[in-house]
Amino acid sequence: MKFKNHLIATLGLGILITGCNPQKNPDHSENLQNQDGSVLPFPRIASESQTGQTLAESKLAPWPKNKHLADDAPNVLIVLIDDVGFGISETFGGEVATPTLTKLAEEGIMYNQFHTTSICSPTRASLLTGRNHTRVSSGTIAERAVNFDGYTGIIPKTSATMAEVLKSYGYNTAALGKWHNSPANQTTAMGPKDFWPNGYGFEYFYGFLAGETSQYEPRLFENYNAVEPP
């Protein structure tokens, strides 16, 4: 597959992929002028169309195009595999043969330290936001979410995920596989669904919301819609 301007991540038994075509910049109520990315989403450029008394007296100007990505902007692939120690794969000195991972690593940069939180939901929240797990209310797994600061299981919208940031620049985003970052009491068809993957910058989601599911009769969702097992 050939992708252009993608964010791709597997978030623990799953993958996150950004789509093929840059999207339009999100709407913004203020026509601010700063386009350097210091404020996201990028402010919308003021329209040059002019409205007259009649259509004949009006002038329609094409919508100005904002381009925030270079032509050679890379696709982004993130793979998070749960419950696998840092030193398991041969890529990082372990005993499990991982030739494809090794090939990828040899073509790029390898880091020899990765600090996990020892459990999946907090590690995933930290990886998505670049913040300490308790700073994004993910001190434990989703099923154990409680009403204590740092442990509600709800990543605050003030801590943007990398998907939200890259989407603002023009990437298309998707998450595939395991999510496990929404409170368990909010993962039924009743919702609320504000804190599902689509609410965190992922334009497309296909996977399961819980910490685990059957390999033969998986309980899957496509965006907000349940996909019943065959």
Q: Are residues 132 and 158 in the same domain?
A: yes
Catalytic residue selected from 6, 28, 68, 180: 180
Span 195-227, pLDDT tens digits: 999 999 999 999 999 999 999 999 999 999 999
Average pLDDT over residues 106-128: 86
What domain range is 42 assigned to?
25-66
Residues 117, 213 within the same domain: yes
Q: Is the pLDDT of residue 14 over 60?
A: no
Please indicate, yes or no, if residue 141 is contained in any of the structural domains: yes
What phi, psi does 13 have (nearest 5°)?
A: 55, 30
Q: Taking 90 as the threshold, does the pLDDT of residue 22 lie above it?
A: no
Closest C-alpha to 170, from 77, 38, 75 = 75
Residue 157 located in a structural domain: yes
* pLDDT score, position 39: 83
pLDDT surpasses 80 at 112 = no
Q: Confirm if 18 and 78 have CB atoms less than 8 A apart.
A: no
Question: Rounded CA gap, 182 and 201, in Å?
Answer: 14
Cα separations (Å) of 2 from 5, 110, 168? Answer: 10, 24, 22
Q: Indicate if 143 and 98 belong to the same structural domain.
A: yes
Q: What does the pLDDT read at residue 4? A: 63
Please, where are the H alpha helices in the chain? Answer: 99-106, 120-129, 162-169
- Dihedral sign (CA 216, 222, 228, 230): negative
Number of domains the chain contains: 2
161 and 181 co-located in one domain: yes
**Of 28, 68, 120, 133, catalytic:** 120
CA distance linking residue 185 with residue 179, whole number of Å = 14
Query: Shortest CA distance to 137 belongs to which of 164, 159, 115?
Result: 159
Q: Which of 180, 173, 154 is nearest to 9 (CA)?
A: 173
Band (32; pLDDT cuts 50, 70, 90): very low
Contact, 6 vs 19, CB < 8 A?
A: yes
209 and 145 in a single domain? The answer is yes
Give the rounded percent of residues in the chain with a pLDDT score beyond 90.
50
Q: What was the pLDDT predicted at 2? A: 58
- Is there a catalytic annotation at residue 20? no
CATH number at residue 105: 3.40.720.10
Residue-wise pLDDT tens digits, 163-202: 999 999 999 999 999 999 998 888 988 889 999 999 999 9
What average pLDDT does the structure give for the chain? 84
* Residue 154 belongs to a domain: yes
**Are 220 and 151 in the same domain?**
yes
Structure tokens at 181: 């970052």
Give pTM, 2 decimals: 0.77
Q: Does 229 lie in the same domain as 215?
A: yes
Q: How confident is the model at residue 156 (pLDDT cuts 50, 70, 90)?
A: very high
- What pLDDT score does 9 carry? 57
Angle (nearest 5°) at CA 135 between 157 and 179: 60
To the query of whether residue 6 is one of the catalytic residues in this protein, the response is no
Task: Give 54-96 pLDDT, tens digit per residue.
Answer: 999 999 998 877 788 888 999 998 888 887 777 788 998 899 9
